[in-house]
């Protein structure tokens, strides 16, 4: 059996930043990092627009408390204010630390780190590396993993989180190239497994964003928090769904409907194209629904032409390339077609501000931590502001590393029955290979993704959600009828796909069930039958527990501690832009 002090699952920004922090804090600790793809291929590498911090390089009026206020208001007051304070106070330091590691941020003429405007941020505070920020940061972090000699289990798929007697004890994983099973025990485990965009049929996320970590936590009996809050990014390139970064609007692009109008004037006059994402996505969906999509179609235009060729190629070269590559459109001369695309999961594994997972409200899970997009600490509440996610990964990734390095000092390796776990996992894979089903994985996945997209999209209501939940339960029952064409174990990607489909279905069901029970509209969760926010009943986090085949929904309170610092801004109030 493999044994480590700490095992990190996930090599994106959160996981690799945590590994770096552990190595810096106590280099005697035995740490390993597991990732189903090469760490550099984690979705973090695709992040484009930037990372927020009140550095005051462009805007000396900015400060952490205003950044915190923008975040809490953007979150429609559902964010935990203690967690937001940590995020925004530590932001400038983590950026400087990244710069010292060698991250190539774009510069102002005087050499300081440049900062651009971003949706929902009242000051110009988003640091960036052109529109390839994730690439720039992840490459530096992953090279640090090699520098600190962190063992990397690359192309290993984690299929079980072992939780016994109320504590996390280890993992079961299989090697994608060979099908070999390994059981690992550890004093503590960190999940940094990213998001679940692939639950839907159109997303900006990569193929590996299947919500595995969330599924494994739910299967181990942990609650998932605020899963009804799914972020739609306003500008997915139509029809492919790939992301056109908010940086494009940050640099001045306009959203235009069929009549040639900058329609955001009717939805968020003070912020226009730089309103928060939930509001901008609803505006685009409304324009399309009411027949003002371009040519009466299912998209609107993002127009960059007035920005001029030089600025477009210098500031947002990747967006320029994406439109040219996918659609043959040169945005210097033509507007590009866009519509909202599923982008980010606000919900996830609930944690303390020190990243330890919660087993229930007020009760931590021993041995288990989470950070990054799979966690819900919760700094994004009901709606995340652009450029706050990379920040969360770096701030809370480092924090998780520091907490873990402390936590394992006086903890022993737990007992794990290796033979039993290995036998169960091997039998499970053999059963998958042998099962005589009639359904292709791809067909069931597509049907499932279409169901989620039709029944839990930007606008929701009781009937749509209820029917969606029934359909999901029927699809779930058909999972046992999938058939693998490849019966071998070497590079059998169908085994991985079968496990990923289990994740999609588990996570998707929790999203819809949580959405059904929140009978109000808040942030990204918009109910046509309950159009108002209802603080009296719903200023609280949803906790969804999987119990056998059923789901149980519970709630926990929201932290409002910044109210004591600035009651005028941090007391929940109507959200206007």
Ligand X SMILES: Cc1cc2nc3c(=O)[nH]c(=O)nc-3n(C[C@H](O)[C@H](O)[C@H](O)COP(=O)(O)OP(=O)(O)OC[C@H]3O[C@@H](n4cnc5c(N)ncnc54)[C@H](O)[C@@H]3O)c2cc1C
Please, which residue, 464 or 507, has the CB nearer to ligand X? Answer: 507
Please, which residue, 394 or 560, has the CB nearer to ligand X? Answer: 394
Does 133 bind ligand X (CB under 6 A)? Our answer is yes
Q: CA 521 to CA 48: how far, in whole Å?
A: 29
Q: CA 285 to CA 287: how far, in whole Å?
A: 6
Q: How many residues bind ligand X (CB under 6 A)?
A: 46
Does 213 bind ligand X (CB under 6 A)? Our answer is yes
Which one of 33-41, 415-423, 535-543, 565-573 is the stretch in contact with ligand X (CB under 6 A)? 33-41
Does 14 bind ligand X (CB under 6 A)? Our answer is yes
* Assigned token pair, 163: 């939780």
Q: CA 370 to CA 9: how far, in whole Å?
A: 9
Does 393 bind ligand X (CB under 6 A)? Our answer is yes
Where would I find the H helices in 33-174? 64-74, 81-101, 133-147
Sign of CA pseudo-dihedral 83, 85, 91, 97:
negative
Does 36 bind ligand X (CB under 6 A)? Our answer is yes
Does 50 bind ligand X (CB under 6 A)? Our answer is yes
Position among 74, 92, 120, 134 found at the interface with ligand X (CB under 6 A): 134
Q: Does 282 participate in catalysis according to the annotation? A: no
Tell me which residues in 154-173 interact with ligand X (CB under 6 A). Answer: 157-158
- Write the CB contacts of 329 (distance below 8 Å, at least 6 apart in sequence): 323, 336
Does 355 bind ligand X (CB under 6 A)? Our answer is no
The residue among 406, 424, 418 whose CA lies nearest residue 187 is 406
Q: CA 11 to CA 138: how far, in whole Å?
A: 9
Helix axes 493-517, 441-455, angle to 10 degrees: 20
Neighbours of 550 (CB within 10 A): 8
Where would I find the H helices in 260-361? 277-289, 309-315, 317-327
Position among 8, 23, 37, 79 found at the interface with ligand X (CB under 6 A): 37
Does 88 bind ligand X (CB under 6 A)? Our answer is no
Q: Which of 17, 249, 271, 277 is catalytic?
A: 277
Which one of 78-86, 207-215, 306-314, 328-336 is the stretch in contact with ligand X (CB under 6 A)? 207-215
Position among 18, 23, 42, 150 found at the interface with ligand X (CB under 6 A): 42
Q: Is residue 447 within 8 Å of residue 200, measured between CB atoms?
A: no
Does 53 bind ligand X (CB under 6 A)? Our answer is no
Does 383 bind ligand X (CB under 6 A)? Our answer is no
Does 217 bind ligand X (CB under 6 A)? Our answer is no
Does 43 bind ligand X (CB under 6 A)? Our answer is yes
Q: CA 48 to CA 26: how far, in whole Å?
A: 33
* Assigned token pair, 388: 């706050």
The residue among 356, 425, 58, 2 whose CA lies nearest residue 190 is 356
Q: Minimum CB separation from ligand X for residue 572, in Å?
A: 25
Helix axes 13-25, 133-147, angle to 10 degrees: 40
Binding string, residues 223-262; x marks residues near ligand X by CB under 6 A: --------------------x-------------------
Residue 203, strand partner residues = 342
Please, which residue, 393 or 444, has the CB nearer to ligand X? Answer: 393
Which one of 47-55, 301-309, 522-530, 534-542 is the stretch in contact with ligand X (CB under 6 A)? 47-55
Q: Minimum CB separation from ligand X for residue 344, in Å?
A: 6
Q: Minimum CB separation from ligand X for residue 101, in Å?
A: 16
Annotated catalytic sites, by residue? 277
Task: Write out the residues near ligand X by the rule CB under 6 A.
Answer: 9-15, 34-37, 39, 42-44, 46-51, 133-134, 157-158, 192-195, 204-205, 208-209, 212-213, 243, 344, 372-374, 386-390, 393
């Amino acid at each position: 059996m493999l044994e480590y002090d700490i095992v990190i699952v996930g090599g994106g920004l959160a996981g690799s930043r945590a590994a770096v922090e552990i190595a810096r804090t106590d280099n005697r600790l035995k740490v390993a990092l597991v990732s189903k793809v090469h760490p550099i291929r984690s979705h973090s590498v695709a992040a484009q627009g930037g990372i927020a911090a009140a550095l005051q390089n462009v805007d000396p009026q900015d400060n952490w408390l205003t950044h915190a206020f923008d975040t809490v208001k953007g979150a429609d007051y559902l964010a935990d204010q203690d967690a937001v304070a940590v995020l925004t106070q530590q932001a400038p330091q983590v950026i400087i630390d990244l710069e010292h590691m060698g991250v190539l941020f774009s510069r102002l003429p005087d050499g300081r780190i440049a900062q651009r405007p971003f949706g929902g941020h009242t000051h110009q505070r988003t640091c960036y590396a052109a529109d390839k920020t994730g690439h720039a940061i992840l490459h530096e972090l992953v090279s640090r993993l090699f520098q600190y000699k962190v063992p990397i289990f690359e192309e290993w798929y984690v299929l079980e989180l072992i939780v016994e007697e109320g504590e996390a004890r280890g993992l079961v994983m299989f090697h994608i190239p060979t099908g070999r099973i390994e059981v690992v025990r550890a004093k503590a485990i960190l999940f940094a497994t990213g998001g679940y965009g692939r639950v839907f049929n159109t997303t900006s996320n990569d193929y590996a964003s299947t919500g595995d970590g969330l599924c494994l936590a739910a299967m181990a009996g942990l609650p998932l928090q605020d899963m009804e809050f799914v972020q739609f990014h306003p500008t997915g390139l139509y029809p492919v769904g790939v992301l056109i970064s908010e940086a494009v609007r940050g640099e001045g692009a306009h959203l235009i409907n069929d009549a040639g109008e900058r329609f955001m004037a009717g939805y968020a006059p003070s912020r226009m194209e730089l309103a928060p994402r939930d509001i901008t996505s609803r505006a685009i969906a409304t324009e399309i629904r009411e027949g003002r999509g371009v040519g009466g179609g299912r998209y609107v235009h993002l127009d960059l032409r007035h920005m001029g060729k030089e600025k477009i190629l210098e500031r947002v070269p990747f967006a320029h390339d994406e439109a040219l590559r996918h659609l043959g459109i040169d945005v210097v001369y033509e507007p590009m077609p866009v519509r909202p695309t599923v982008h980010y999961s606000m919900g996830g594994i609930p944690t303390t501000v020190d990243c330890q997972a919660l087993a229930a409200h007020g009760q931590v899970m021993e041995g288990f931590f989470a950070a990054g997009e799979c966690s819900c600490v919760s700094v994004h509440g009901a709606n995340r502001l652009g450029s706050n996610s990379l920040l969360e990964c770096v701030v809370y990734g480092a924090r998780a590393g520091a907490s873990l390095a402390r936590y394992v000092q006086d903890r022993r390796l737990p007992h794990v029955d290796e033979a039993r776990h290995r036998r169960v996992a091997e039998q499970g894979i053999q059963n998958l290979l042998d099962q005589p089903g009639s359904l292709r994985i791809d067909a069931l996945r597509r049907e499932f993704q279409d169901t989620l997209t039709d029944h839990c999209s930007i606008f929701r209501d009781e009937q749509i959600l209820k029917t969606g939940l029934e359909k999901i339960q029927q699809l779930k029952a058909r999972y046992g009828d999938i058939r693998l064409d490849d019966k071998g174990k070497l590079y059998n990607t169908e085994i991985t796909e079968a496990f990923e489909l289990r994740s999609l279905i588990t996570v998707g069901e929790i999203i819809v069930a949580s959405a059904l029970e929140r009978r109000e509209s808040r942030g990204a969760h918009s109910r046509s039958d309950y159009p108002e926010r209802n603080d009296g009943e719903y200023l609280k986090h949803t906790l969804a527990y999987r119990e056998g085949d059923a789901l149980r929904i519970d709630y926990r309170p929201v932290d409002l501690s910044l109210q004591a610092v600035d009651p005028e801004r941090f007391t929940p109030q109507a959200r206007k832009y």
